[in-house]
Amino acid sequence: MACEQWRSQLDTYLDGELSAESMRTLDAHLRTCPDCTADVLSRVQLRRSVKAAGTRFRPSSEFRSKVQKQIGTKRRWSWNLGWTLATATLAILLLASGINNYFAKQGLREQQLYSELADLHVATLGSANPVDVLSSDRHTVKPWFQGKIPFTFNLPELQNSEFTLLGGRVAYLEQSSGAHLIYQVRKHEISVFIFPDTTAIASLGDSSKARQQQTFNVASWAQGGLRYVVFGDTSADDIQKLSSLLKSAGHA
């Protein structure tokens, strides 16, 4: 194709919207054509300037707090809204990077549940007394829950792992009670939620692989009638490791 025909497509090319095949052909052309390459560079420069000029307006801090107050009266909604926006952004990023858009297929219900768990996680760690039973000994923590929640569970031996149990508390998620355990790995706290798999939490799908929800990594699975959700701002790898430990203890 002649240069002239390519020229009309350079912006589409820079927008990343050409078909993969046209993209390859144009790439090849650019390697051999200094004129078109110069054109591309100049367009890139103009874009950069447009982007800089185009982001000139910032909301004032007064206005920000005004809107914050406005949506603050519906805190649950705003959290969900913010959460959905965050996952939407992530979905766009994933889509843009060519990864199959997983989040687009996720139900809003699931996102709401994750947002509530995120809420619990953040609120608990931010509070003065994050745990009600402060112990690294699973033999102390497990019996503490007896009579407080309607089920029992097993916790793993951590002696040869990097994880430490910090303690636990009773958590409430949409009218049902469950266990909220806090683990630590290299200064990162991880929440483990255990609820009967018949309650609201059951609508969380299984994800044996840790995946990202906002800035957190999450794994979720059902085992022995209970649903486990492992949640934290640590690496997917850590979430996986702790999940396997919990799974093997659950089997015992």
Which residues contribute to the site for other proteins (CB under 8 A)? 4-5, 7-8, 11-12, 15-17, 35, 38-39, 42-43, 45-47, 49-60, 63-64, 66-68, 70-71, 74, 77-78, 80-82, 84-89, 92, 95-96, 104-105, 107-108
Residue 220, strand partner residues: 207, 229
Binding partner selected for residue 99 from other proteins, Zn ion, none, CB under the kind-specific 5 to 8 Å limit: none
Nearest-approach distance from CB 193 to other proteins, in angstroms: 23
Q: Which residue has the tokens 């406005």?
A: 70
* CB 6, min distance to Zn ion, A: 6
Nearer residue to other proteins within complex by CB, 41 or 123: 41
> Smaller CB distance to Zn ion: residue 38 or 96?
38
Stretch that binds Zn ion, among 35-43, 55-63, 88-96, 97-105 (CB under 5 A): 35-43
Q: At what angle do helices 34-54 and 20-32 cross, to 10 degrees?
A: 120
Residue ranges binding Zn ion (CB under 5 A): 3, 33, 36
